[in-house]
């Protein structure tokens, strides 16, 4: 199974679930802080997993990878954006193996409340729910743009950025960080991305109630990709939620940047 590793290879094992769109390189933001705090960050290339693996079989496959990796030990899990959904579902097959579960800019179930109306991705998610064939065609068109015009794809995706993400998306450093991630996601792993989105838009709020991991939630108050109401829902409905930190003025990726050093410091102490 393809994966990317950051931080201290001899440190505590932490599994990072990247977003959708996303890729393992997304976890590079942890490298500096993981080294400082003795953490070994591992991010699996989920979208490269055989697309015939669906739903429970997919989550169990990921859980088995993690169990093999920790070899009877415990593990901390971090999810970002829609990767939070996959992290939660996978945790159900890990039982007491999970020490802490951190959800950054978490996307809550669409069947839990009327979140869709206030989401920047409303059109994409609606198509994925109601017209899956059209959604697949849309994704393959994005894959074409990722190959021939990645700058246009970047502008399309971040046209809806709000809060501090709006300023972040204009910086060269962020463009250099995100563009290869989008290319990897759409150009190489479109089928895996399609699976992830299709599984996100179907009802899964039951999994929230069954989540038994000690959970910490980090969310920007200006997030319009995962509206802040989603963070509140996760905090209120995950039985083992320990804390919710709302970070004023931050949006989707700026929350990721702000949460990383805090999470690494917390994991170092526990």
Domain count, the chain: 1
> Do 264 and 39 form a contact (C-beta atoms < 8 A)?
yes
Does residue 227 come out as left (phi exceeding 0), alpha (psi in the -120 to 50 range) or beta? Answer: beta
User: For residue 234, what are the contacts with CB-CB under 8 A and spacing of at least 6?
Assistant: 84, 103, 106, 108, 208, 215, 217, 241, 244
Report the pLDDT value the prediction gives residue 103, as an integer from 0 to 100: 98
Strand segments, DSSP code E, in the chain are 3-7, 12-17, 39-44, 75-80, 98-104, 215-220, 241-247
Chain center to CA of 114: 21
Q: What is the CATH number of the domain that holds 173?
A: 3.40.50.1820
Contact (Cβ atoms closer than 8 angstroms) between residue 254 and residue 165: yes
**What is the torsional sign of CA 225, 175, 169, 15?**
positive
Residues of the chain with pLDDT under 70: none
Q: Which domain holds residue 71?
A: 3-269
């Amino acid at each position: 199974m393809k994966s990317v590793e950051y931080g201290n290879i001899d440190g505590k094992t932490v599994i990072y679930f990247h977003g959708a769109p996303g890729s393992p390189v997304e976890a590079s933001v942890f490298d500096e802080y993981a080294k400082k705090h003795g953490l070994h960050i591992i991010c699996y290339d989920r979208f490269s997993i055989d697309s015939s693996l669906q739903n429970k079989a997919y989550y169990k496959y990921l859980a088995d990878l993690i169990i093999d990796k920790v070899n009877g030990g415990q593990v901390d899990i971090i999810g970002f954006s829609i990767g939070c959904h996959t992290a939660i579902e996978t945790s159900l097959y890990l039982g007491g193996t999970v020490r802490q579960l951190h959800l950054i800019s978490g996307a809550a179930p669409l069947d839990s409340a009327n979140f869709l109306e206030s989401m920047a991705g409303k059109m994409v998610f609606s198509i994925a729910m109601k017209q899956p064939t059209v959604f697949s065609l849309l994704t393959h068109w994005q894959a074409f743009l990722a190959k021939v015009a990645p700058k246009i794809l970047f502008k399309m995706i971040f046209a809806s950025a709000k809060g501090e993400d709006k300023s972040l998306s204009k910086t060269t450093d962020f463009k250099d960080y995100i563009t290869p991630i989008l290319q990897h996601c759409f150009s190489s792993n479109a089928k895996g991305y399609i699976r992830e989105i299709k599984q996100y838009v179907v009802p899964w709020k039951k999994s929230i109630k069954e989540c038994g991991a000690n959970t910490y939630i980090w969310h920007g108050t200006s997030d319009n990709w995962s509206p802040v109401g989603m963070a509140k829902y996760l905090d209120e409905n995950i039985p083992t939620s320990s804390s919710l930190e709302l970070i004023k003025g931050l949006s989707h990726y700026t929350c990721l940047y702000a949460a990383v050093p805090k999470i690494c410091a917390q994991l170092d102490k526990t």
